[in-house]
Amino acid sequence: MTIQKPIFVTSAIPYVNAEPHLGHALELVQSDAIARYQRGVGHDLRFTSGTNDNGLKNVRAAERSGTTPTELVLRYGAGFRRLAEALHVEHDDFIHTASDSRHAPAVQALWRRCVESGDVYEKFYRGLYCVGCEHFLRESELAFGKCPVHPEPLELLEERNWFFRLSRYEQPILQAIRSNRLQIRPLASKNEALEFIASGVEDFSISRSLARAKGWGIPVPGDDSQVVYVWFDALANYLSVLGYPSGSQFGHYWQDGGERWHVIGKDILRFHALYWPGILLSAGLPLPTALFVHGLITSNGKKIGKSLGNAVDPFRLVARYGVDAVRYYLLAHLHSTKDSDFREDLVRTAYGSELAGKLGNLLQRVCALVERHEVAIATTNLDASLCEVGERTQRAVQRAFDEFALHDALRAIFELVAAANRFIDGSAPWQLAKAPEDAPALAACLSSLVHALRVTACLLRPFLPATAREIEARLEPRPHLGAQLFPALSSG
C-alpha cells in the first residue's frame, strides 16, 4: 500500500558550459538511489533534474567555442540527459531551463510574488564577481584575493541591478534551520549554513544588465534592460518543473504538504540554505524540508571540474567497467557527505574483487549447487544466524538512508554477502551432497543462502538496479546458471 505522504526529490541542475564529468554522475546516482529506495518502501514520489542554461558562464563558453548560447546549451544539455540514461537514473522529469516552455513563466511569476511582498528594489552596486560561482564575493570570502573555488580572475563590476531583500528573512531562515523544519544533513553542513547566517545576511542582486548578459537570460518583468540573475532563475526550476504557479503537480508535491528534498553539492549550500528559503518565504511558499549535501570528488586533493582541467569522463568509466560497477564505486567507495579522491584502480577493485569476487562468485556457487543437486528451495528451516544478519542489514540500510550515509548502506549489504560466503564455506554443501542422509541439511543450507541472496538483491535495488534484477532473475522461479553476472575485464 502506498504511504500517503508525497515526496519530491531533486538533484541540482548543473551549468552546461562543457561536457558532464564524474562529479555530476555522483549526484545523479545518489539522488536516484534515494528516489528508488523511497519508491520501494511505498511512497508517492516524483524525482526531477535538469540543466541550468541561463548563466553568464554559458555565454562565455559559447563565445570561446565560436557558437551561440542556444547551440551550446542544446549540445551540452543533451550530454547531461545522456549521462542520466547511461547511469540508469530514472527521472520523472528533466528540465532544460532555456528551452522548456514551463520555465520562464514560472521564474517571472516567482519574481512578481517577491515584488508584491516589497522585497525587490533597485540600486547601484559595485563588487567583485566570480563568473565560475555566478556570485559576488565579499572580501572575507576571498583566498589571497581570489575565489577559493575557481582559478579565474575576479571581475570588478559596477552596474544598477535589482536586489532581493534577503536580510528581512534572516530570523525565519535561522529558526527553520535550527528547528530542523529545514533539515540539513550532514550536521557539518547545517553548522556551515548557520555560520553563513552568523556572518551577516545581506541583500543580494537578482538581476544582471542585458548588455553584460549579451542578451541571454529571462527578462526581468517590467524592465527589459535586465535579465534575471542565474541563481534566482535556476532555483526556480524546482517549481517550474512542477508546473508552478498553477500546475496540479506543483500543488501535490510542493504546495500541499509532504516532503521536499534537494540533493546538492556542498559548494552550492549557500544558495540553497539562504537564498532559496528567503525567496520562498517572500513568495509565501513552503520551504524545502531537507537538503542532503554531498561531498565533492577530488583528484590529488583538488576538486575535479571543467575549469580546473582535471574532469573525469563518466562515459568512459561506464564503457570500461559497466554501469553498476560505476554506480557501486560512486556510492560505496566515495563518502556520501565528505570529499573523496578519485582513484580508477579502486573502480577496478570494486568491480573485480567486490562485485565479481564476492557477490558474483557467491551467486555462481549457490546457483550451480542448487541446479546440480536439484534442491527444492524452501522458506522455512533457515539458518537463524544468517537470517539475523539479513534482518540487521535491512535495519542498517534504512538508517543509512535516514542519515544520508549511502556508503554505510552498501558496506552493510556487503557484510551480509561476506556472512553468506563464510556460511557456504563453513557449511560445505558440496560435502553434504555426497551423502543421501544429509539431503535435509543440504536443502536447509542452500535455502538459507538463496534467502540471503534474495535479501541482498532487494537491498541492492536502489543502488545497483541491473545487478539486483539479474540476481532475482537467476533465483526465480528456479535458479539457472546463465551467463556470468560480472564477466572478466579485458586486459586493455
> Which residue out of 57, 96, 133, 272 is catalytically annotated?
133
Q: Which three cell numbers stand for residue 239?
A: 517549481
For residues 359 and 372, what is the distance between their CA atoms, to the nearest angstrom?
Answer: 20
- 480: annotated active-site residue: no
Catalytic residue among 43, 91, 306, 407: 306
Compute the Cα dihedral for 398, 399, 403, 405 and give only its sign. negative
- pLDDT at site 1: 41
**pLDDT for residue 227:** 96
Tens of pLDDT, residues 183-241 = 999 999 999 999 999 999 999 999 999 988 889 999 999 999 999 999 999 999 999 99
pLDDT for 267 beyond 80: yes
* pLDDT recorded at residue 128: 76
List, in order of start, the domains of the chain with CATH numbers.
3-294 (3.40.50.620), 343-475 (1.10.730.10)
Q: Which of 91, 190, 294, 303 is catalytic?
A: 303
**How high does pLDDT run on average in the chain?**
92
184 pairs with which residues across the strands?
291
- Res 5 pLDDT > 90: no
* pLDDT per residue as tens digits for the range 339-371: 999 999 999 999 999 999 999 999 999 999 999
Q: Which of 43, 150, 272, 294 is catalytic?
A: 150
The pTM of this model reads 0.92
Q: Which three cell numbers stand for residue 414?
A: 556487503
- DSSP characters for 375-400? PPP-SSS--HHHHHHHHHHHHHHHHH
Read off the amino acid at residue 275. Y
The residue with cell 569522463 is 313
Predicted pLDDT at 153: 74
Is residue 491 predicted with pLDDT exceeding 60? Answer: no
Please compute the mean of the pLDDT values over residues 112-124 and round it to a whole number: 96
Provide the edge-to-edge strand list for the sheet that holds 219-220.
Answer: 207-209, 223-228, 219-220
Active-site residue identified among 24, 190, 262, 294: 24
DSSP 247-272: -HHHIIIIITSSEEEEEEEGGGHHII
Residue of 88, 91, 114, 130 with catalytic role: 130
Q: What percent of the chain stands above pLDDT 70?
A: 91
Confirm whether 150 is a catalytic residue. yes
Beta bridge partners of 207: 228
Mean of pLDDT values over 46-75 = 93
CA nearest neighbour of 469 among 358, 315, 348, 363: 363
- What whole-number distance in Å separates Cα of residue 25 and Cα of residue 80? 9
pLDDT value for 158:
77
Cα dihedral 437, 441, 447, 448, rounded to 10, equals -170
Is 387 assigned a catalytic role? no
Answer yes or no: 21 catalytic.
Answer: yes
Residue 431 has pLDDT above 90, yes or no: yes
Through-space distance between the first and last CA atoms of the chain, rounded to whole angstroms:
49
> Coil, strand, or helix at residue 410?
helix
Q: Which band of pLDDT confidence, cut at 50, 70 and 90, is reported for residue 489?
A: low
Q: What is the pLDDT of residues 367-416, one digit of tens each?
A: 999 999 998 899 999 999 999 999 999 999 999 999 999 999 999 999 99
pLDDT digits (tens, 9 = 90+) for 282-329: 999 999 999 999 999 998 888 887 666 778 999 999 999 999 999 999
**Angstrom distances, CA of residue 316 to CA of 17, 21, 42, 296, 313:** 20, 10, 35, 20, 6
Report the chain's C-alpha Rg in angstroms: 25
CA–CA gap between residue 330 and residue 15 (Å, rounded): 21
